[in-house]
Structures are given as C-alpha cells and as structure tokens.
Structure 1
C-alpha cells in the first residue's frame, strides 16, 4: 500500500474504532463523511430489518452528472455471490444429491489433473472448498498483469482445465484457510454437473424467484435493466474514469451477481429468518455459520470461515464482502436479532490520487458492526 493510502487507512479505522455505542444516525454521518472526503462517486448504505430496507442513505452518482444513486440503482456485488453458491450447494446436500464429504473430483473429474503433494486429489472434499480450506490458490487468473490485451477473467471452462496440470495444492486440505476464487468456481461447476442446469438458471429458479429478487441478474445488464445500472469508476488524477459493464466469464459463481440494494435486503431477510421462503432450512443455515477454519484477527476482531460465510464470533455477526472492477460492498447481519447492514461503493483508486475504497468500506463496516451489537 502506498504511504498516503496507508495513513488514510489508519486515520479512518482509528476514527471508526473510537465510536462505541452508535445510533444509526451516527453510522450515516460516518458514511457521509467518508464518501465526501474520499472522492468515491456513488454509494448506498442501508439498514435491513424484517427483510426490508428500513433506513437508507443514497449518496452521489450512479452515472456521473447524469443519474444519481437511488432506490432503483443496480450494483455489482462481486464475492457476495459466493454466499448464493454456498446455499445452492446446501440445497443439493439436503436433497440427498451430494454430501459435503464427497471428493470434489467425483463431480469435477478434470481436477484429477491437479497435484496434491499431501496425498491425493481424492482427499479434497466439497466442504473443504466451501470453507476455503482445500489448498487452492487465491486468484483465478494467475498471470494477469493488468495489461489491456489480457482477459480480465477466464471466459471458458477449457481455460481453467488447461491450468489444472500446473496447479499444486498449497497445504494439507482442511488444515487451514486460504481464500480461493477457483474453489468456488469448481463448486459452480459441480452444481451444473449435478442438476443439469447452467449455474445462472439454477440460482434464478431456486433462489431469486422464491425470494422475489426481481432485479437480480448475472454479468452484463439485460436491456430492460441497463438504464438502472451503476457505472463502475476508477479515479485517475482526481477524475472518475468509467470501467464499463463486464462479464465475469466462467467465474460467475464466484462473483457475477448484480442487484438493487432492496433485493439484497431480501437475501438478508431470508438468511435471518425474517422472510419465509422454501430455499433452505434454518438448521442448514446454522450449519453454514459454524466455524470450520480460523482466519485471524482482523478489523472486527476474530474472523472465522464457515461454509462460504465470514464469521465474526466476537460480535455474533455473519457476512461477506465483495470487490471487483471498481465495485466494493459488504453484507453484515445478526442472525439472532434479524437485522443487518448493506453498503456498496462504485469507485476504486486508479492512481495515488484515488480513494482507498477498501479502507472506507472497513470503516463503515466497523461502524455498522458496533451499531448492530450495541
């Protein structure tokens, strides 16, 4: 991290840490202050209670000087997609179609080409992938150097398969945590193999429709929703530069979700039990929120990894974050109290003049966590 950004991060987190018992208005003030001082183009902060947004703060622009952020704005949620993939896997488990103890190579036989120096590829289970404990690397596209001519994500399954003979497992499966985008992609492939549906169609039928998430879609905005899509920006010499819409390719199960804040509130409503829908049992959700591997001491205290969900046991909270192509977001909720917080930002720093959006996200998330557990 550049020195200027490091200092900004320290100042932001120190300010947020000094606030203890916070009311919601103070969370909004912190959000507004950080957006105004950082140069982030657009953002929404929302309090979710009973499966619906009860307080929201829309700031800035969805499209600079053309369309402000509002209730219809569609944001990209990046890795929060992983929680949908995880719930889909649990649906298959509960229907008796798979077991979390099954070797992933039973469903993704191409993975037999990878190398596990600690044993066999047969040792890596579906559950290991869900907990980011299988030993796969973090990035999906290891040789991306950021050049314009390089594909941003693999667009075809064959590209991932071509890398498998050169893939080594980094540690004994199940022994520790390493965040892994490819691991979730392999789960998406398993869902397709077991159900016969493409991933997007399966999620649409089994999660979006039952929850009434009518704005939710994957990858490039369909024509009838495109006018509400937030642009994604990077700041270069202090000016916003649009990145444009994009396709996450074969990695859709790991980060392809787009939706309004209100539709993500329905997701939190389902997860907290405020929205009754035939998606997944409360018992199976509770199983997903049991710590499988520790992550470490982070901004919210001890963090652990459940089954595709981040756990914050010191605060009794569950959630996930997302960052991709200028979009940043977090989802944080209290399963016992049935409420949560969503925040999303549409700008990343393109050079030293740009915002450290991750530091802003962490500061707002810390303020939200203190509010939820006051």
Structure 2
C-alpha cells in the first residue's frame, strides 16, 4: 500500500513538473518567435551585414542565430566559427583579473592608484589629492577621468592607431585633469581601465594579454580567443567590419591593433568561447572547481553589487543601464535585474547580459555600426530595440 501511495505521489509530482516545464517551453517558444521576427526585420532595415545571437538557460543553449556575412566582399557567411571583435566587453576580463590579484593579497580595492602608478601624480586634480583616488573608483568609473584614452588627435573616442606604449599616455598626464570629485559621480572612462591594465602588468610582471590568457582564457578553455591582431591560422574566421551612415556602407579597418588600450578593448573571440565565459558568470555545479579556481563565487558576486547610479553620467547624458557594480552594469526592467556589459569599436557592437535569478543569458553581436545622431533615443535605435526584445525573452522564462 505504501509503495502504491509513493508511486501515485511520484506520478503526480512528475506530471506537475512536466506541465510546468512544457508551459515554460511554450512561453519561451512564443516569445522567441516574436523576437526572431523583430531581430531579422531590424537587421534587414538597418542594413546590418552580419550578426550572431544566442540565448542560454542553466548553461544550455536554447536558441542560436547566425545572420548575414562575415566578409561581404567574399560572400563569407557568419557561422559559429566567426571571430568578432568584442571591444569594451574586454573590460570585465580586466575586472576579473584585478579581483584575482585582490584575492591573492597583491592589492586592495581601496588602495590608492598612486601606489602602483606614481606617474599619475602629474594629473591636474582640483578636487582631492591624487593619492585619494582608488582602484575601486577605476572599477566603477567614478575616478573622474575622461572617457577617451588618447583624444589629442581628432577628439574621437577611438583612433585608427591607438598609442602603443604607456609612455605615450604618461607624456600627456600633465595635460590631463580630473573632471569631478572622485567617488561622487559615474562617468564612463576608457582611460581608467587602461590604468587597471597597467596595474596588472606591474604586479604580475606579465603583459596584460599573457596574464589574462593564462589565468582566465585558458582555464575557461577559450582556446580561439586572443587579443589584437589575429594569428595566421585564425585569419579565415575573422569577421570584417562595416559602418552605415546616411544609408552609405563603408568598411572598417580590418584586424586593428588596440595598442595600449588592450585592457579595455582588445579581445577577439568566436561565439562558442564567449558562451564559456558567460557560463562562468552564471555559475554551475558541474564546473564549480574550475570556476572557483579562476575567481571564487563570492568575489564574482561582489562585482555584481550596485555601487552607484549609472542612469546619467557626469555630463547628464542618459546611460544604457540603471547602476554599475565593479565593471559590470546592472539594468533593472519590469522587476528583473540584468547584469552585463556592452562593446562598440571599429564597426563591431556587442551586448552580453544575464539574469542571475533566472540563470538566463544572452549574447548579441553585430559586425556593423550604424552611425546615428547623438540624440537618437534608444527606442529608435536598432540596438535599443533589440535589447528590449531580448528582455522579453528573459521574462518569458519562469
């Protein structure tokens, strides 16, 4: 009799579980059908040459899309082997490296940056002593440094040829100023992340690229990921990049070298490798030992905690997120919190986001940059529209 009751209870719970799973799958399938229609329509209307998209739940791929061309001139299609430039999605790897060094006792987040980069004493600071600016403030973009790394050529955030040596940055430090009281405001700064890259190099005696490869990329088995110019054996997979302005297509510089800005924008990688990185962020019991060997979970989650509002920058410009943690941005929509980062450089645009509560994640990347007026609202921007549509996918998962 007890066995019969146990069997009945098992069947009831199994049926309830399967019903719940089927409802969840059905909700997602319907949401994905809507998303795919929006995705393809927006890419076609905007003139995007190539794009990839993936959505994950519990470290498993639910859907994966490849669109258009990696090389328009050679009619080479985008596929899972296509290598994209991830631009500022490099920054989280820099943040993880800094947290590794913190956990090893080589630095403290509230250490003065002058302790590691005494050259920064030359920066003009009318708010506080330069000794008062900390590593933590570089991590959450509140140190007061400008956005562009090297704006002295044509006042653009990214130059066709970035400075190749830190001495070039140092030479301009007397002409650099802190723009607001450190810690008081958020203002995105590529220059600040360059300083973090230099701290990593000085503490480890490794080049930034070597350190990150040994301590993050290789442990995650991201074997086809690399920094800056492409190794010969991977060149055939490297996507070209494009720009669209006023309906006209132009080609971006192929295989650009990010120079001294490597710590904020140098990463190149195919989608399967980025999925491995994203699974590390989500976490998983089956690889807990490997993941903890890279960075213990408590330190990673420390990076995910909000530190200051990022809804507006120091100049009053609207941001793409509501808050920032340590490197990672937090975006709160419809009661859900999404963590992630974006990238935009040399024609490539990418967004990597995940919902830690639902253990869902998404990757969206283009090889085409649509140049729009600076005051274009997100709801009229292709990227903004697709990010909103992606949120609906996350929301469809219970």
Separation in structure 1 between the aligned mates of residue 172 and residue 76 of structure 2, nearest angstrom: 42
Specify which of 273, 278, 285 is matched with residue 268 of structure 1. 278
Note closer, same or farther for the CA distance 1:124–1:319 as it changes in structure 2 (3 Å cut). same
> Deviations 1:26-63 (Å, cap 9, x if unpaired)?
22221111111111100011112343533111000000
The 8 Å contact of residues 91 and 279 in structure 1, kept in 2 or not, is answered as yes
The 8 Å contact of residues 272 and 336 in structure 1, kept in 2 or not, is answered as no
* TM-score with structure 2 setting the length: 0.83
Matched, 1:334 2:355: yes
Higher mean C-alpha deviation, range 268-277 or range 201-210: 268-277
Separation in structure 2 between the aligned mates of residue 52 and residue 35 of structure 1, nearest angstrom: 26
The higher relative CO (CA closer than 8 Å, separation ≥ 6) is in 1
In structure 2, what is the equivalent of residue 292 of structure 1? 307
In structure 2, what is the equivalent of residue 364 of structure 1? 386
What secondary structure is seen at the aligned counterpart in 2 of 1:70?
Answer: coil
The 8 Å contact of residues 38 and 356 in structure 1, kept in 2 or not, is answered as no
Separation in structure 2 between the aligned mates of residue 161 and residue 23 of structure 1, nearest angstrom: 51
What secondary structure is seen at the aligned counterpart in 2 of 1:270?
Answer: helix
Matched, 1:49 2:70: no
What secondary structure is seen at the aligned counterpart in 1 of 2:151?
Answer: coil
> Deviations 1:325-368 (Å, cap 9, x if unpaired)?
1000000101122220001001124699xx99992122111111
Could you tell me which runs of 5 or more consecutive residues in structure 1 were left unpaired when the two chains were aligned.
Answer: 1-19
* TM-score with structure 1 setting the length: 0.88
The 8 Å contact of residues 235 and 241 in structure 1, kept in 2 or not, is answered as no
Could you tell me which runs of 5 or more consecutive residues in structure 2 were left unpaired when the two chains were aligned.
Answer: 1-27, 313-317
Specify which of 229, 237, 249 is matched with residue 238 of structure 2. 229
Separation in structure 1 between the aligned mates of residue 351 and residue 372 of structure 2, nearest angstrom: 23
Give the length in aligned residue pairs. 350
Separation in structure 1 between the aligned mates of residue 198 and residue 80 of structure 2, nearest angstrom: 34
The 8 Å contact of residues 47 and 342 in structure 1, kept in 2 or not, is answered as yes
In structure 2, what is the equivalent of residue 31 of structure 1? 39
In structure 1, what is the equivalent of residue 108 of structure 2? 99
The 8 Å contact of residues 52 and 266 in structure 1, kept in 2 or not, is answered as no
Separation in structure 2 between the aligned mates of residue 21 and residue 142 of structure 1, nearest angstrom: 47
In structure 2, what is the equivalent of residue 108 of structure 1? 117
1:21 CA drift (Å): 11
1:299 CA drift (Å): 7.8
> Deviations 1:129-183 (Å, cap 9, x if unpaired)?
0000000001112123279xx7532222111001111111111111110000000
Matched, 1:241 2:263: no
Looking at secondary structure, tell me which structure has more helix per residue: 2
Alignment of 1:314-325 (within 5 A): 314=333, 315-325=336-346
> Deviations 1:211-270 (Å, cap 9, x if unpaired)?
111111001111111100000112366344343210000000000011011111111100
Alignment of 1:13-92 (within 5 A): 23-64=31-72, 65-92=74-101
Note closer, same or farther for the CA distance 1:180–1:242 as it changes in structure 2 (3 Å cut). closer
Alignment of 1:243-258 (within 5 A): 243-258=253-268
In structure 1, what is the equivalent of residue 325 of structure 2? 306
What secondary structure is seen at the aligned counterpart in 2 of 1:57?
Answer: strand
The 8 Å contact of residues 144 and 152 in structure 1, kept in 2 or not, is answered as no
> Deviations 1:268-290 (Å, cap 9, x if unpaired)?
10001135322111111111111
Note closer, same or farther for the CA distance 1:135–1:264 as it changes in structure 2 (3 Å cut). same
